[in-house]
A and B are shown apart, each in its own frame.
Chain A
Amino acid sequence: MTETGLLLDVADLVVRFRGRRGKQVTALSGVDLTIREGETVGLVGESGSGKSTLGNAVLGLAPVASGTITFAGEDISHARNRQRRRLSRDLQAVFQNPYGSLNPTRTIGSTLAEPMHEQGRFGRAEIQRRIREVLDQVGMPADSAQRYPSEFSGGQRQRIAIARALVLSPRLIICDEPVSALDLSIQAQVLNLLGDLKRELGVSLLFISHDLAVVRYIADSIVVLKHGEIVERGPAAQVYDNPQAEYTQRLLAAAPAPVTHVPFESR
């Protein structure tokens, strides 16, 4: 990874939701996070720790109570439609549930075309060309464009969702548990795909997952979140092999790791 400029800078971010009976729930209290150009940051923590909220706040899907989110030098803490539309060229997302992440009533082609239509500066032919290109990038046949989501398996849908995120050639993709709902062999395919994109397109990733092994595999650095606060951060290998915070140690100890496997190549 090359040392290039700062892409995302989240400073002292606080997010609150209106909970039941009007009570305020603080989901994030004073979180700092940076992502550099080309860097992959893994965000781990248990459910309810605020992982998704952090990603959603960057994407404008969660309300920012205080603090700032700066993307490529621009304050986007409270970006609305027009600014979002411009932003979406550089900032994209892949969500967890492969079954809900595509509109079942629209063909893959029209799902992939939507971001470009929204930009309003792509011609018909260009849109078709780009759709073929991203489908190819994620390893899906070109005729997928005429089909509906129900005709694809979970792993294939997740690849299509990644294709949609790639369509505008973004600089940062927020991946919220992108492989959690997938089977191991499919998960490996999608992780490889993300790895390739990272290497070959130089795109940055904020990779949110509860699975430390997956995060350690894909991320350059790891941030550990607990109850809306960061308890540990550092280079991936360091956090994984030598965790400092008691909470991180607990997370690692709990993850059921198969213990005795010797891969074939190494025999």
Chain B
Amino acid sequence: MTSSPTPAPDSTTWIATQPRNRRRRGPLARFIRKPLGVAAAVLLLLGVVASFAPSLLTSIDPQAADFANVLSGPTAAHWLGTDSLGRDILSRIIYGTGPALLGVLIAVGVAALVAIPAGLAAAMFRPVDAVVTRLNDLVMSIPGIIVLLMVLALSGSMNWAMVAVGLLTAPGLVRVVRSSAATVTEEPYIAAARVFGVGKWKIAFRHVLPRIAGPILVNVSLIAANALVTAAGLNFLGLGLTPPTPSWGGLVADGAAVMNQQPWTLVPSGGVIAITVIAFVLLGDAIRDVTAEGWTAGRSKGASITRATTVPATSSDDAVIESADALLRVRDLSIAFPDADGSARSVVQSVSFDIGAGEAVGIVGESGCGKTITGLGVLGMLPGGARVVSGSIQLDGVELLELSPRERAAVRGKTIAFVSQEPMTALDPLFTVGYQISQAVRVHTGASRKRAAARTLELLEQVRIVDPKRVARSYPHEISGGMAQRVSIAIALAGAPRLLIADEPTTALDVTVQAEIVALLRTLQEETGLAVMLISHDLGVVSALCERAVVMYAGQAVERAPVGELMSTPLHPYSAGLLSANPHFATPGSRLQTIPGSVPPPDKWPVSCHFADRCALATEACRVGPIPLVAVAPGRASRCVRVDALQTEGVAR
């Protein structure tokens, strides 16, 4: 089987698989773009020069006493002034750099050499873990200063003291390495490497270490800063390096002694220590960022939309929508995220739909199509600087987008409630389930503690929990995932809402539990007249609960239809593609119909049909301009100019 045959996947299946294009710079080029990191590096390089060739930086002898100019303050001859013996402070700082940096190097080296292997070993080998953790705790409980004094007393050498500093600070680094490595070792790629027979140490250094370089670098830079300050402290006390040998800590001590006569002398000596500490930290940060940027895609952080860009109007929705007395009426809703450069990146474009009182409507589509953002937009809880750029959201005839944040918050929970995919994250692990439900009841209804407790049990019964009293006393970790989802539905029902937005409420659950939750939502809908907006990628779940569905693709609603009709005769090539890709309908052994490629990221969406690159029916007409969503049959709308062709030819060819 060495000359393996090559199954040439048919070309239609694999087009549009080009990875996202992004130019990559080398590590040095990336580093240069970090001004703070560069400044820190230049400073520390200067320090290295000062260590090896101090005479290159100053011609003044650090021991030369100029008795005519004691405690002079900065002058043309002595840029940073002189000390109480008239010695040049700048020269003494420069000559003191070598010992200071050597000490840091020793401490950091020792800490890293001890802590990184120990932390990795603890994360990867169970028996080692116990030993390392014990030792770590032991070292942490040793009073550091006493050890340092003993080492100095016995060896009299600053270098040995710095070895001790390294050993004493290692436990912190061991913890960082151990805990971050433990998380990484859970990842499947580590398992894959083990399957190849890669040895544990090789895995540790090749696959785990690079991943945790960030936290390690940050910790190491803190160790460096700490070592520098500790060394200065010892020298300040006159330990280790004894006068007249210049040392930074000794300079501070000199300055402190004459503080009242010439306060200036403290400035350069304290300053150089402070600046070096800052340089260590900044350099650590910069190197961490540069290493991470090597393999992560750039992402904007904390940006906000500054340059208001109007979203290309995708023409307003002229398909007449369902009911005149809808509970929720969403019109031309467009939502955008801020990009790194301050422009708006629209992720939901001109979406319209209605949900009648007591009706269940599904929002379906693949990952990244904007389903969740649409739901959060209705709820008024958009993440990460996203905002509604245009459109209207009416609830019972009231325009939600005109409400103040406070009024909006009042609507949330009371009229509109939300249930998310991960039930456990919605629950606070520190409080009992009952407490959390009763809190929600009290916030929404202002009920007394006693009334709220009674209502809590009612709600638990309503979500079909068999032993409500016991469950109310449980903590979240004591209940199963399905039970947790019931509880979070109970919390959502606390304010007696009229609309429930459920975002993938069953995706994280087992199939049997999934079916139970869908059944529960259906019962609630029938019993309480609750309207449901069900967001899901699973047409099966949607068809089990909803009367109508909105199919979303790349930020737009591309089809709206009663669920049964959508499934039997989809009127948009994307809906049709989704259905034929479903293995439920496939004959085993035959090839599945696929939609080639994948959903493009928002910045690649064309103005014309968003689906055109993946569509088998695409023609020139699809690429000229925005495609409107138009009524194509009673109660049905599609955003496709070739609906006729779809009906006659189908998408499967």
Contact = CB atoms under 8 A, between A and B. Distances in A.
A96 B7 CA distance: 23
Interface string A69-92: 000000000000111111110011
Nearest to B191: A61
Given A93-B192, A115-B196, A186-B598, A46 B512 contact: yes
B10 to A, nearest CB: 9
A5 interface: no
B195 A195 contact: no
Range of interface residues on A (Cβ < 8 Å): 35 or more
Contact of B588 (A59, A137, A218): A218
A210 to B, nearest CB: 6
B19 A265 contact: no
Contact of B194 (A61, A201, A236, A253): A61
A184 interface: yes
A100 B189 contact: yes
A61 B592 CA distance: 33
A152 to B, nearest CB: 5
Contacts of A92: 195
A232 B167 CA distance: 59
B197 A191 contact: no
A195 B7 CA distance: 10
Given A133-B6, A184-B581, A185-B366, A46 B511 contact: yes
A162 to B, nearest CB: 11
A267 B196 CA distance: 49
Interface in B435-490: none
Contact of A217 (B14, B579, B583): B583
A200 B7 CA distance: 6
Interface in B516-545: 518, 537-541, 543-544
A192 B197 contact: no
Contacts of A188: 581-583, 592-595
Judged by DSSP, the binding face of A is: helix
B445 to A, nearest CB: 34
Interface size class of chain B, counting residues whose CB lies under 8 Å from the partner chain: 35 or more
Interface stretch (A6-14, A21-29, A256-264): A256-264
Contacts of B191: 56, 59, 61, 93, 95
B20 interface: yes
Interface string A213-245: 110111000000000000000001100000000
Contacts of B539: 258
Nearest to A170: B1
B141 interface: no
B511 A210 contact: yes
Contacts of A216: 583, 588
B580 interface: yes
A250 B650 contact: no
B13 interface: yes
B263 to A, nearest CB: 50
A139 B13 contact: yes
A151 B19 contact: yes
Contact of B585 (A56, A114, A154, A263): A263
B483 to A, nearest CB: 14
B325 interface: no
Given A59-B191, A86-B197, A193-B9, A201 B541 contact: no
A96 B188 contact: yes
A95 B207 CA distance: 17
A100 B422 CA distance: 19
Nearest to A255: B511
A46 B650 contact: no
Contact of B514 (A82, A87, A164, A256): A256
B4 A133 contact: yes
Given A84-B197, A150-B296, A155-B598, A196 B564 contact: no
Contacts of B198: 114, 118
Contacts of A251: 511-512
Contacts of A199: 7
Interface centre among B19, B295, B589 (most CB of A within 10 A): B19
Nearest to B367: A183
A189 B13 contact: yes
B515 A254 contact: yes
Nearest to A181: B367
Given A81-B199, A154-B367, A256-B514, A264 B580 contact: yes
Nearest to B296: A150
A254 to B, nearest CB: 4
A13 to B, nearest CB: 18
Interface in A26-63: 46-47, 56, 59-61
B135 interface: no
B510 A46 contact: yes
B308 to A, nearest CB: 30
A85 B196 contact: yes
A140 interface: yes
Contacts of B543: 256, 258-260
Interface centre among A92, A151, A184, A257 (most CB of B within 10 A): A184
B36 to A, nearest CB: 24
Given A137-B6, A169-B4, A82 B192 contact: no
A155 B22 CA distance: 19
Interface string B1-21: 110111101000110011110
A151 B297 contact: yes
11 contacts: A61-B195, A92-B195, A95-B191, A102-B189, A139-B17, A164-B192, A184-B581, A255-B540, A257-B540, A260-B564, A260-B567
Interface of B: 1-2, 4-7, 9, 13-14, 17-20, 22, 187-189, 191-199, 207, 210-211, 294-297, 366-367, 510-512, 514-515, 518, 537-541, 543-544, 564, 567-569, 576-586, 588-589, 591-596, 598-599, 650-652
Given A106-B295, A153-B598, A169-B1, 14 more contacts: A60-B194, A84-B195, A96-B188, A101-B187, A105-B211, A137-B7, A140-B17, A166-B4, A183-B367, A183-B537, A201-B7, A250-B512, A257-B540, A265-B650
